[in-house]
Structure formats: structure tokens, C-alpha cells
């Protein structure tokens, strides 16, 4: 049974394509956030040190995920453009090569991360019980990295095939399974925070199994294929897509180190706000991924007018819809935070952080959609360079300097300002890419 109709982004109306691609992708991203929040909810019942460790550990894992998300993004770019050009066999060949890359690289990264785990926790300034809990969680999580990586790749390819119902079904299944297994492993088997890691691995393994089944039904095959030319193209696009995320995640680790230098309570508050705002971030990702598919397939079909109209509509919908939810979170911050923490010190700092997120989040919405649309137009390099300079040569130095004079407020202010500069740079880049594409292809 199809929850949403299959869409042809090169033929169906633009509004229909946006609606029936973005809604399931939002549901997918919300399910992913709920997946994470379920972990936070049950782990927070252990202690708020365990909660801080869980969020910090997740960011550490995202550093590694960034490499494979780059491969998944590159595969998505080539699959979408191949399908738009009506070359399905080419799309499947790109996927087979990407699948092989993930299998090989996942083993290498699992080994390296396990060996360096103690050093990494020391580097980001985790101390005491927070560090103990983080080590327990990560020592299990790294063993299931391959399933995380395959899950990301398969989801990217399913999205690029404009198969929203299948993506939603897999996410709902894994989310429900994790919600059931979390309390079982954490409390019933008394495994503590390790139980959360085991629950995640089991849930994702089942999810990958269903993804493979769905992709197989659509003609995709799973075997070791290493065509040098294809691997080179995937690497060429994927490395910058990886760096785009990598620069952001590393900057978050530096921010965690900076915030943690004030107090572990401040770190817990920052970690909690990040989790709460991931609800909005994943909605934005849902819209951005819809734009990625629509723009990518129309780019392959050389339909420039549809590309422009699609980008404009997604930006407008994102600003209105997600912006309204930003206001909702700000005015209901008290009951929302009360669900996750009862420590007065943590809540007081979290209230302050939310204000800075509230005023700058519209810029995050526009910047994220613009960057993703540029990537669909075969430009993964310049969005990553924007991230590098905006985060490492602007936000982090500002946060460090202002923290010396204004404490934590200096850090939160720097984050808000960098959200605006990211928006400005990515909008300009998107306009340049649209002009480039206009000159490349003849309007149809």
C-alpha cells in the first residue's frame, strides 16, 4: 500500500512534486529525530551526565558519518541526474559502485575509531561521569557503523528515485523498533547507556534489510563493483559533500569543548537545545532533500525553467512553515524543556540559548535549502568552502573572543551571526549556479 504517490519531478506539477516529496521526507527526518529523542528520553533517566554523553557521542559519530554521507550525496546526485536523463541502468551502476565503497571503507573507519576513542573523548574535554558514559556508548556504537553507513546510502538513493512511500515505511519501522528496544536493553537487561547503542544497531540492521529489499525490487543490485571512472566521480563529488558536513560537525565539537570549559551543566543545556531544534532542522532537511531530487532530475532533463521555479517555491515554503514552528518552540520552550530535564541550572541556560536560535533560525532554513540545491546542480565544492570559512574563520574565532568578555552569551551570539552570514553566502552562490546552468543548457 502506497502512502504517497510516486512522483516524476520532470513531468508532474512543481507544487505537487514539492508536496509529495517534501512531506514524506519531512516525516522521514522527523522520525529520525524522534529516534534520537527516544534515546535522549530513556538515557536521561539514567542521569543528565549520561544525556550529555549521548549527545556529545552522537556528534563524534557524525564526524565519521560525514565521510559516508558525502558518498551517499554523490550517489544521489548521479542517480537523480541519470534518472532525469532517462538512463536507469546508469543510475543502478552508480549505486553498485557506491555500495562497494561503503562496505570497504566502513571496516577501516570502525577499526580506526575504536583505537582512537580514548584520545577523542579527551580532546573534546569530556570529564568525569560524562566521559565514562560516552566511552561506554561509543565502544558499542562503532561496531554497528556499517549499518549506519548503508542506511544513509540507501535512503539517499531511494529519495533520488522519488520513492517517498518506501523511505517513510523504513523510517517508521526502525523508529518503532528502537522505541521498543531502548527501554528493554537499557532497563530490563540493565545495560544502561550501552543498551541505547545496541538498540540503535539492531533497529538500523532491520531497516537496511528492508531498504535492500525495496531497492532490489526496483532493479538495483548488490555486489562488489569497482569501476575506476565511477569511483573517481563519486569521490570527486563526495569529498566536498563530506567536507560540507565535516566542517560543521568539527566546529560543533570545538563549540562543545568551549562550552564545556564553562561547566558540564552548560554543556548539557547546549546539548539539549541542539536536540530540540533538530526537530526543525530535520524538517528543513526534508524540504532541502525534496529540492535536491527535483532540481537534480530536472537538471539531468535540462529543464531550466522548472529548476528555477522549484527552488523559489521550496525556499518560500520552508521560510513560512518552519519559521512558524520556530516561533512555536520559542513561546513553548518551558514545557518542552521540562519534558527532558528537571535541573534548574540546565533549564536556565537552555532558555537563553533558545532565544539566539529563535532569532537566527530563518537564516538557517534558507541557507540549508540553497546549499542543497546548489549541490544538486553539480556544485558540491563551493558550499563546502562557504561552510569552512563561515565556521572556522568567522564563527569560531568570534565565539572564542566574545566568550572571554561576555561568557556564554558571546558564544550564542556568534552562532546567531554566523547563521546570517551563511544564508547570505549560500543565496548568492545559488543565484550564480542558476545562471551557470542557464548558460549550460538550452531551455526546453
Provide the domain count of the chain: 1
- Whether the CA torsion 203, 205, 206, 211 is positive or negative: it is positive
Residue from 37, 30, 52 nearest 339 by CA:
37
- Mean pLDDT across 419-430: 96
Classify 343 in phi/psi space as left (phi over 0), alpha (psi -120 to 50) or beta: beta
At CA 223, angle to CA 99 and CA 207, rounded to 5?
55
**Where residue 174 falls among pLDDT bands split at 50, 70, 90?**
very high
Residue from 424, 409, 426, 281 nearest 356 by CA:
409
Residue 15, CA atoms < 13 Å, CB-side half-sphere: 1
Listed in sequence order, the DSSP H helices in 184-303 are 193-217, 228-260, 264-300
Which residues fall within 8 angstroms of residue 78, CB to CB, at 6 or more apart? 90, 91, 94, 233, 234, 237
Q: What interhelical angle do 128-141 and 193-217 show, nearest 10?
A: 30
Specify if 4 maps to a domain: no
pLDDT in tens, 333-344: 888 888 877 788
Specify if 297 maps to a domain: yes
For the chain, helix, strand, coil in percent to 5 are: 85, 0, 15
Which residues fall within 8 angstroms of residue 234, CB to CB, at 6 or more apart? 71, 74, 75, 78, 94, 97, 98, 101
Residue 296, CA atoms < 13 Å, CB-side half-sphere: 30
Mean pLDDT (the chain) is 89
SS3 string of 7-64? CCCCCCCHHHHHHHHHHHHHHHHHHHHHHHHHHHHHHHCCCHHHHHHHHHHHHHHHHH
Q: Which of 91-95, 119-123, 328-332 has the lowest mean pLDDT?
A: 119-123
pLDDT in tens, 33-83: 677 778 888 888 888 788 788 877 887 888 788 888 889 999 999 999 999
Round to whole Å and give the CA distance between 169 and 281: 21
pLDDT in tens, 73-82: 999 999 999 9
- Mean pLDDT across 185-198: 94
Is 166's pLDDT higher than 80?
yes
Specify if 138 maps to a domain: yes
- Mean pLDDT across 369-381: 93
Q: Which of 274-283, 380-389, 426-435 has the lowest mean pLDDT?
A: 274-283
- DSSP for 273-304, written as a single string: HHHHHHHHHHHHHHHHHHHHHHHHHHHHTT-H
Q: What would the grid cell of residue 83 be?
A: 534518472
Is 193's pLDDT higher than 60?
yes
Specify if 163 maps to a domain: yes
Specify if 349 maps to a domain: yes
**Where residue 120 falls among pLDDT bands split at 50, 70, 90?**
confident
> Is 305 strand, coil or helix?
helix
Round to whole Å and give the CA distance between 159 and 101: 20
Please report the pLDDT score of residue 260 as a whole number.
84
pLDDT in tens, 249-278: 788 878 888 998 888 888 888 888 887 887
- Mean pLDDT across 316-342: 89
| pTM, entire model | 0.80
pLDDT in tens, 220-249: 988 888 889 999 999 888 888 888 888 887
Q: What would the grid cell of residue 171 be?
A: 523510517
Is 443's pLDDT higher than 60?
no
Residue given cell 539517499 in the structure block: 156
Please report the pLDDT score of residue 444 as a whole number.
46
Q: What would the grid cell of residue 63 be?
A: 564526524
- Percentage of the chain surpassing pLDDT 90? 54
Range of the domain at 344: 14-440
End-to-end CA distance of the chain: 35
CB 366 within 8 A of CB 423: yes
Specify if 109 maps to a domain: yes
Specify if 274 maps to a domain: yes
Q: What would the grid cell of residue 355 be?
A: 532565544
Is 137's pLDDT higher than 90?
yes
Specify if 2 maps to a domain: no
pLDDT in tens, 203-220: 999 999 999 999 999 899
Amino acid at each position: 500500500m502506497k502512502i504517497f504517490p510516486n512522483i516524476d519531478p520532470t513531468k508532474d506539477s512543481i507544487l505537487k512534486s514539492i508536496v509529495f516529496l517534501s512531506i514524506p521526507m519531512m516525516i522521514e527526518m522527523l522520525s529520525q529525530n524522534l529516534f534520537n529523542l527516544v534515546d535522549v528520553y530513556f538515557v536521561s533517566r539514567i542521569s543528565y551526565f549520561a544525556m550529555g554523553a549521548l549527545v556529545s557521542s552522537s556528534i563524534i559519530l557524525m564526524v565519521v558519518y560525514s565521510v559516508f554521507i558525502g558518498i551517499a550525496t554523490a550517489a544521489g546526485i548521479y542517480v537523480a541526474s541519470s534518472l532525469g536523463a532517462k538512463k536507469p541502468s546508469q543510475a543502478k551502476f552508480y549505486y553498485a559502485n557506491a555500495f562497494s565503497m561503503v562496505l570497504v571503507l566502513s571496516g577501516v573507519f570502525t577499526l580506526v575509531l575504536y583505537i582512537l576513542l580514548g584520545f577523542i573523548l579527551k580532546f573534546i574535554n569530556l570529564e568525569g561521569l560524562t566521559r565514562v558514559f560516552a566511552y561506554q556508548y561509543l565502544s558499542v556504537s562503532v561496531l554497528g557503523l556499517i549499518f549506519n553507513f548503508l542506511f544513509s546510502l540507501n535512503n539517499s538513493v531511494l529519495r533520488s528515485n522519488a520513492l517517498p512511500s518506501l523511505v517513510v515505511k523504513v523510517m517508521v519501522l526502525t523508529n518503532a523498533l528502537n522505541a521498543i528496544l531502548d527501554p528493554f536493553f537499557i532497563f530490563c537487561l540493565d545495560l544502561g547507556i550501552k543498551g541505547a547503542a545496541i538498540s540503535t544497531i539492531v533497529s538500523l540492521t532491520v531497516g537496511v534489510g528492508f531498504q535492500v529489499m525495496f531497492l532490489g525490487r526496483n532493479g538495483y543490485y548488490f555486489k562488489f563493483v569497482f569501476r575506476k571512472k565511477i569511483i573517481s566521480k563519486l569521490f570527486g563529488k563526495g569529498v566536498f559533500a563530506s567536507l560540507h558536513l565535516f566542517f560543521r560537525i568539527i566546529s560543533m565539537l570545538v563549540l562543545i569543548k568551549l562550552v564545556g570549559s564553562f561547566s558540564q551543566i552548560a554543556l548539557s543545556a547546549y546539548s539539549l537545545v541542539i536536540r530540540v531544534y533538530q526537530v526543525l532542522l530535520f524538517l528543513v532537511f526534508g524540504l532541502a532533500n525534496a529540492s535536491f531530487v527535483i532540481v537534480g532530475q530536472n537538471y539531468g532533463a535540462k529543464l531550466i525553467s522548472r529548476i528555477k521555479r522549484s527552488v523559489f517555491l521550496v525556499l518560500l515554503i520552508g521560510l513560512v512553515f518552519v519559521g512558524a514552528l520556530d516561533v512555536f518552540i520559542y513561546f513553548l520552550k518551558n514545557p518542552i524543556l521540562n519534558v527532558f530535564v528537571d535541573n534548574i541550572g540546565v533549564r536556565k541556560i537552555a532558555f537563553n540559548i533558545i532565544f539566539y536560535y529563535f532569532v537566527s533560525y530563518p537564516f538557517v532554513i534558507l541557507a540549508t535549502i540553497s546549499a542543497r540545491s546548489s549541490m544538486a546542480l553539480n556544485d558540491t565544492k563551493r558550499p563546502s568552502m562557504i561552510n569552512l570559512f563561515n565556521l572556522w574563520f568567522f564563527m569560531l574565532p568570534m565565539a572564542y573572543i566574545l566568550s572571554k568578555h561576555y561568557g556564554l552569551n558571546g558564544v550564542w551570539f556568534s552562532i546567531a551571526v554566523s547563521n546570517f552570514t551563511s544564508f547570505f553566502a549560500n543565496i548568492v552562490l545559488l543565484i550564480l549556479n542558476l545562471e551557470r546552468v542557464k548558460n549550460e543548457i538550452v531551455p526546453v
